[in-house]
Amino acid sequence: MTQLYQSDFLNIHTADELLIQEWTGKQLTVDHFKRELKNFLWLFKKSRLKGVLWLQERFTLDIPNELHDWIEKNILEPQYKFGLRRLAFTIPKDQEAHISIIDSFNKVNSVMQPRYFVCRDKAIRLLLEGDFPKEKEDINYEINRSIDATQITLEVHHRQLPHAIRHLDKLKEQFQFRINHTEKFEQLTLRELEILKAICRGDVNREIAERLFLSESTVATHRKSIVKKLGIKSSNDWHQFGSAFL
């Protein structure tokens, strides 16, 4: 192993025909990040090794969207032109940092598509042993049930990870909303529940009245009761109850 570069933010060395970079964990600014990437690119062009591995465990910068094009044009495209095809990252502990790294490639349709690994040894083996295997775009999940809880393990292609996490965060919010408002929801009568479903579909009082064979004034009365019981104050409240309970 040969040390090529060391700073407060980044260490770079070579090992087994690989150029390996590791962030030190010191908090980066955008200017620091850009400067270190330029230093890395200069060393990459000089060394022309078989592959590149970024050790990102201590990487914490949330890469801003406006930097994506700069990274593509000034760092990734020059690497590609110099022949780099084997690029791998280990996964940062910070989830937002990991998503921002993925986005920096995906949002500009980058010429480079790295692989991501939890284990650095596995990343090194794959970089050295040959071409990267084709990655599956399928979403797979496994359910493990126990007496107290059910665990779901989700396997998703890294390109879909930001999208998947956003949906999971939304689902988490819905679960929390359901927990916080179950007592209110259970106050509704069956008729009020029917009308709530219709309102959440976007039906107006006249349409609800015709479907349920009620007068519009009766529907309006039920609507007022629902608003009072659930504490509805805006159209977004209707949407939240519909998403969480219906």
- Prediction pTM value: 0.59
| Domain span holding position 46 | 2-129
Number of domains in the chain: 2
Give the model's pLDDT for residue 53. Answer: 95
CATH of the domain at 178: 1.10.10.10
CB 30 within 8 A of CB 37: no
CB 117 within 8 A of CB 90: yes
Give the model's pLDDT for residue 243. Answer: 92
Judge if 27 and 99 occupy the same domain: yes
| Domain termination site, one of 103, 129, 155 | 129
Average pLDDT over residues 52-56: 94
Judge if 104 and 159 occupy the same domain: no
Domain assignment of residue 40, yes or no: yes
Judge if 187 and 98 occupy the same domain: no
Pairing of strands 10-15, 115-117: unpaired
Give the model's pLDDT for residue 158. Answer: 62
Domain assignment of residue 135, yes or no: no
CATH of the domain at 116: 3.30.750.24
Phi, psi torsion values for 221, nearest 5 degrees: -65, -45
- Per-residue pLDDT of 156-213, as tens digits, reads 766 676 677 788 888 999 999 999 999 999 999 999 999 999 999 999 999 999 999 9
Contacts of 187 (CB under 8 A, 6+ apart): 229
Judge if 27 and 53 occupy the same domain: yes
The residue that leads in pLDDT, 93 or 73, is 73
CB 99 within 8 A of CB 169: no
Query: What is the CB neighbour count within 10 angstroms for residue 51?
Result: 20
